[in-house]
Structure 1
């Protein structure tokens, strides 16, 4: 009986100790913020190890958002054919052709600039295909990380949508007309901000999902077959002389064309002078001709007295007068 009583007392003390230790573990777990269960620490370990049950999981890092752009300049023999190949490559990659511009320079060389948009996963394959279409002259590629912008815009859109929803809820509870008008104005402003954020989000999504490749195609220059040290021959001299002759004739024709209006004007003025102006001018009498005065009324007209002959050589006026006087005395 004494042995049985001793064994009973020992069992009761062990069960009481285990209960008190369990209560102490539950109290310490409650102080730490861990709910107590029948399993104690083992249950807590199981809950913390199982993902998605119990404590909040750490937020995942957002995926990288990269904007990829590239620029290629390639020389090809046939620009039209290379452009058709580039279009087909973009369409095969699941993209499309954007802006396109084609022109010709002064020497007749054709140049084309085209913008291609392709998915990011086909970006490198498209670049390799375009580089192999001709002789690569220039290449530049750029990768811009816009992950921060994407995350910021997404967060602002969520906040703006919640703000719009709150304003609409206040409009439903508004009791006066003034409150309704004020809330409508505020709602319009917030909806405009939300639309701007949505447009920015769509632009970022388009830039990150599709890469941009700007391709410039130009026709290759023809190789020069003439060497600088070759001596000119007879045909070269003949061709040079003909070129000089044609140039001189052309310049003479240009000079004649420039002078012809002035020559025509001078000829016209000469004809007018001879045919119209000159016949109307008064004529002058010739030198030594007698000048007769016009006859007035009642006056006789006398013929002009002939001029006295010039004295003979060797005589003078004094000798003539003395000879005449002598003859008179003799008579």
Structure 2
């Protein structure tokens, strides 16, 4: 048991060192790194790091055809018949060896449009975009490329290293002599196999993106409006957004005033006429004469007489 535990720890340390070494040299491996390292899985656990640190050709010297590039693009055209143009766009993609990845259409009395997600081989990307643009009046075209060569090479190196770790775990599992060693080694092997499956899934996804490019074809009818781009951030974008909101609020206010104006005229003019007639009637009505109050009657009060002084 002690021997298997030490061997497992040594294999883990050697594989971890190989991970670091492969990550550091992933950018230096050629495009066929995965095919060029089949012997990595057969190398002993302690030599994985040495197998991955061999001299590689720098990626800067790779040709254009050897690089992993993801192409994405979108093209907007205006046509007279949306359904017919959409069918022709799908035919162009399938004729180039691709397929239809998504189809979203809307049609009503005012507008009709279709948005197609087309997957085509990378070497036919530019040709398909040009052919779709010629279906009608081209309104917009947006092409983007993403160079994922280093990411692809890094995945190749990590997959080779992880395969070596899985093989070393299987060899140690075959040498297990006790139940505790068997349980420990099975858990470690399952973890390594799960990590390998995750790396391989990422590699397949990246290979799919580089092998098949994505084209978004927006086909508009005669009355459909061109979709607006998302506004960029910053002061000018905020100023533009504030001005747009102010104009929209002012438009709503004027709409409300326009809706209330007929009511104000229809009800306000008769009410104003009634009030004017009432005021004229009150102005012509004579006021009652004002009479002065009668003077109060004067009452003469008796003057008290002085009593005679008593005799001495």
TM-score relative to the length of structure 1: 0.48
Establish whether residue 114 from structure 1 lines up as the match of residue 112 from structure 2. no
Give the CA RMSD over aligned residues. Answer: 1.8
Secondary structure, counterpart of 2:203 in structure 1: helix
* Equivalent runs, 1:228-267 vs 2, <5 Å: none
- Note the residue ranges of structure 1 that are not aligned, 5 or more in a row: 1-55, 223-331
Q: Given the alignment, which residue of 88, 93, 115 partners 1:90?
A: 93
1:159 to 155, 158, 161: 161
For residues 200 and 56 of structure 2, what CA distance do their matches in structure 1 show? 28
Match of 2:170 among 168, 171, 174: 168
Are the structure 2 counterparts of residues 214 and 150 from structure 1 closer, same or farther at C-alpha, using a change threshold of 3 Å? same
Q: How many angstroms apart in 1 are the aligned matches of 2:110 and 2:186?
A: 63
Give the structure-2-normalised TM-score.
0.51
CA distance in 2, matches of 1:172, 1:182: 13
2:189, 2:107 → 1: CA distance?
55
**Structure 2 vs 1, CA of residues 185 and 104 (structure 1 numbering), >3 Å: closer, same or farther?**
same
Q: Deviations over 1:123-169 (max 9, x none)?
A: 11111111111111111110000001100000000000000000010
Q: Describe the superposition over 1:23-59 as per-residue Cα deviations: whole angstroms up to 9, x where unpaired.
A: xxxxxxxxxxxxxxxxxxxxxxxxxxxxxxxxx9863
2:76 and 2:182 map into 1 onto residues whose CA distance is: 60
Gapped regions of structure 2 (runs ≥ 5): 1-53, 225-312
In 2, Cα distance between equivalents of 1:126 and 1:76: 17
Larger RCO: 1 or 2 (CA < 8 Å, sep 6+): 2
Deviation readout 1:230-252 (Å, 9 max, x if unpaired): xxxxxxxxxxxxxxxxxxxxxxx
1:59 maps to which residue?
Answer: 57
Report how far residue 103 of structure 1 moved: 1.2
1:139 corresponds to: 141
Structure 1 residues 195, 132: CA separation in 2 closer, same or farther (over 3 Å shift)?
same
Tell me: CA distance 1:70–1:167, structure 2 relative to 1, closer, same or farther (3 Å): same
Structure-2 residue corresponding to 1:296: none
CA distance in 1, matches of 2:213, 2:72: 6
Displacement over 4 Å in runs of 4+:
none
CA distance in 1: counterparts of 2:76 and 2:55, whole angstroms: 50
**For residues 118 and 84 of structure 1, what CA distance do their matches in structure 2 show?**
16
Q: What secondary structure sits across from 1:101 in the alignment? A: strand
Q: What are the residue-to-residue correspondences of 1:274-293 with 2, within 5 Å?
A: none
Deviation at 1:104, TM superposition (A): 2.5
Which residue, out of 80, 84, 91, partners 1:81? 84
Equivalent of 1:199 in 198, 201, 206? 201
Greater radius of gyration (CA)? 1
The CA deviation at 1:221 is: 2.6
